[in-house]
Chain A
């Protein structure tokens, strides 16, 4: 599904990610962890072809996103960081727009599953942050994508909203690959099947999620602190 090989991305003099390699297959829920500015969003953008790597190769769904962005995003759902939406649109209209561009119908149960069926005729600018996040997630699920990339999907949400989003990710992930970035370590414990930790643009851990409550946090702090020294 995903194959990153020795990816390096530089923005002028600034190195965003260095020599990043990993693969991901169907059914995996990958928690992508890292402190701010570690390179999580850059890596996700490289997977989507919004950015092209300075060095290395990216294959997503058998395609090179740098050369065939449209082909890759056709089968990929993406929830960007800060979830940019069109505030002047109503929720129904926005989902209709995404479905129209994807040339796919809106699944009948999507709004109910995501919990936005009561706000379909409300303008996005009038929604709470939690609802906006759910609208973004619903948009990412239109077209039954094989790969779902979620950049901090629960950022800024209250615990109840977080639980709802986590349950949703679990539900949709069965026959797909999900990569989600987060700062909330317990979230990775709850839903991820695999953990990748990135720090200062380099992958410092890629493996199974450690067992036991608080173990992810312990591992994360250990690795990131070690790197900082």
Chain B
């Protein structure tokens, strides 16, 4: 699996597209946060973490769209399936490849909390919990995006369908939805929304239920991709 993981990672690191996506993410994340920081007037990372799901919604499908769609289009999936690796190992290698790129993107935003901690004495523990939540949310979004990439040969279709699904998932936990959807339905759907679970991390709390939710759903979507790969073969 190590060789497969490094092949995945190598694609992004030896290809300008990998750097472009990561740098774009970092630029948007840093800029969108910094532009309002002085207006807010307090040293808090909450607005940054609140904004992340919306950025992930575009950034993660953009990173993950090629992982299976391209293998199917160019037929290299057949090459992979004739190597001594299981479908689970193939999916996991690709999943960890995507997550590594997301971590790389997130690491380029670390300058802000470091600066805020130095300048204003902001509690670093809260920020670390926020980043943990962001990592778990990103992993879930990566698993969903990889599933969509496995369903098609077309990268654009993979990107758009994953982005659309993630958009609705993010939207489930927004002010807009709470104004539009009847309260009863909202009470039913809201706990299922990934961002609802992510919110506890943003508040600086490690809620075990949220951790279990994130990991379970990530495993579920990885499992569905494995099943899809096995079924198609």
Q: Measuring CB to CB, which residues of chain A are less than 8 angstroms from any residue of chain B? A: 48-52, 69-71, 73-74, 76, 78, 80, 82, 84-89, 93, 97-98, 100-103
Check B35 for interface membership: any CB of A closer than 8 A: no
Q: Is the CB of A100 within 8 A of B3?
A: yes
Residues of B within 8 A of A103 (CB): 84
Number of residues of chain B lying within 8 A (CB) of chain A: 21
Total number of A-B contacts with CB less than 8 angstroms?
57
The stretch of B7-15, B94-102, B186-194, B197-205 in contact with A is: B7-15
A24 to B11, CA, bound (A): 40
B contacts, CB < 8 Å to A: 2-4, 6-7, 10-11, 14-15, 74-76, 78-79, 81-86, 233
Contact of B11 among A69, A73, A88 (CB under 8 A): A88
Which residues of B sit under 8 angstroms from A51, Cβ to Cβ? Answer: 233
The answer to whether B84 and A70 have CB atoms under 8 Å apart is yes
Closest CB in chain B relative to A203 CB, distance in Å: 23
- Which of chain A's residues have a CB closer than 8 A to the CB of B86? 70
Flag if B11 contacts A78 (CB, 8 Å): no
**Among B14, B15, B74, B84, which residue has its beta carbon within 8 angstroms of that of A102?**
B84
Please judge, given known A-B contacts A50-B233, A51-B233, A88-B15, whether A73 and B3 are in contact too, CB under 8 Å: no
Q: How far is the CA of A90 from the CA of B118 in the complex (A)?
A: 46
CA distance A87 to B86 in the complex (A): 23
A-B contact pairs, 9 of them (CB 8 A): A70-B85, A73-B82, A76-B82, A80-B79, A84-B78, A97-B3, A97-B6, A100-B3, A102-B83
